[in-house]
Amino acid sequence: MTINRRALMAALACLASAPAFAHGPTRQKLELSVEVNATPDKIWAVIGNFHDLSWVPAVAKVEGPGGNDPDTAKRTVTLKSGGAWHDEELSDYDAQKFTYGTFLPHVDVKILPVADFSSHISVSAEPGGKSLVQWRSAFYRGYPNNNPPPDLNEEAAKKAVTAICQPALDALKARFEAGH
């Protein structure tokens, strides 16, 4: 692989001036879902609070102001592995439609190797009193410039987000279907 020297210099200049604001060229999309044998209202009672991630196994605690009001709500999320991210915003919230959205402007890539992370959680009714729980995320890789190292490329970003979201969906299913 050849490296364009001028582009590299430009990238380094950009990195030096404003590292927190740049991101990679292609936003990634991750869509995870699980079918749960429970009605949407019952599932929403467990997952429908912006400041309660007790249903997400990777999360130790959540703190922050604003309740479920998108204009004021923010949260700090501390992981069981020890790291935390701050000032995650509630971008939209609709209890009638069983959906809310989040946006995390900045995160230390050592905690989560992504940039500009946003997600939507939603519950929709399925036939037979079941529900489909969807967790859709959008984010850039952790490395802002060209030629990312392997631990900060697109695959690493997807893997890290999946590692948080998928066990949460699995645990949600198990919670409602235990004993069935």
Partner 1 sequence: MIRPAMLAVALAAGPPCLAQAAEAFVTDQDGDSVTVIDLATRKTVATIPVDGKPAGIAMTRDGARAFVTSPSAQIVSVIDTAARRVTGHFAAPGGPLGIAVHPSGNPLYVADWYSNQVEVIDSVTGRMIAHVTVGQSPSGLAVTADGKFLVVADRLSNAVSLVDTSTLKELARVPVGAHPFGLALNPAGDRAYTADVESNTVSVVDLGARRPAGTVKVGKRPYVVALDGGRGFVTNELASTVTVFDLATLAKVATVPVGDYPEGMEASPDGNFIYVANWDTNTLSVIDARTLAVIATLDAGSSPRAFGTFLR
| Residues within the interface to partner 1 (CB under 8 A) | 4, 6-7, 10-11, 13-14, 17-18, 21-22, 25-27, 29, 91-92, 101, 103, 105, 118, 120, 136, 138, 145-146
Enumerate residues 6+ apart whose C-beta is below 8 A from 111: 79, 83, 84, 85
Taking the complex as a whole, the smallest distance from the CB of residue 49 to partner 1 amounts, in Å, to 20
Taking the complex as a whole, the smallest distance from the CB of residue 25 to partner 1 amounts, in Å, to 3
Place of tokens 């697109």: 154
Encoding tokens for residue 74? 């923010």
Counting other chains too, the contacts that 6-11 makes at CB distance below 8 Å and 24 or more residues apart are: 7/146, 8/146, 11/145, 11/146
Give the chain's length. Answer: 180
Crossing angle between the packed helical segments 154-177 and 40-47, to the nearest 10 degrees:
120
Q: How does DSSP classify residue 151?
A: G
| Closer to partner 1 by Cβ: residue 50 or 176 | 50
Taking the complex as a whole, the smallest distance from the CB of residue 147 to partner 1 amounts, in Å, to 11
| Closer to partner 1 by Cβ: residue 64 or 176 | 64
Neighbour order of strands in the sheet with 114-126: 28-36, 130-141, 114-126, 99-104, 84-94, 74-79, 59-63
Taking the complex as a whole, the smallest distance from the CB of residue 118 to partner 1 amounts, in Å, to 6
Taking the complex as a whole, the smallest distance from the CB of residue 165 to partner 1 amounts, in Å, to 16
| Closer to partner 1 by Cβ: residue 118 or 131 | 118
| Closer to partner 1 by Cβ: residue 102 or 131 | 102
| Closer to partner 1 by Cβ: residue 113 or 148 | 148
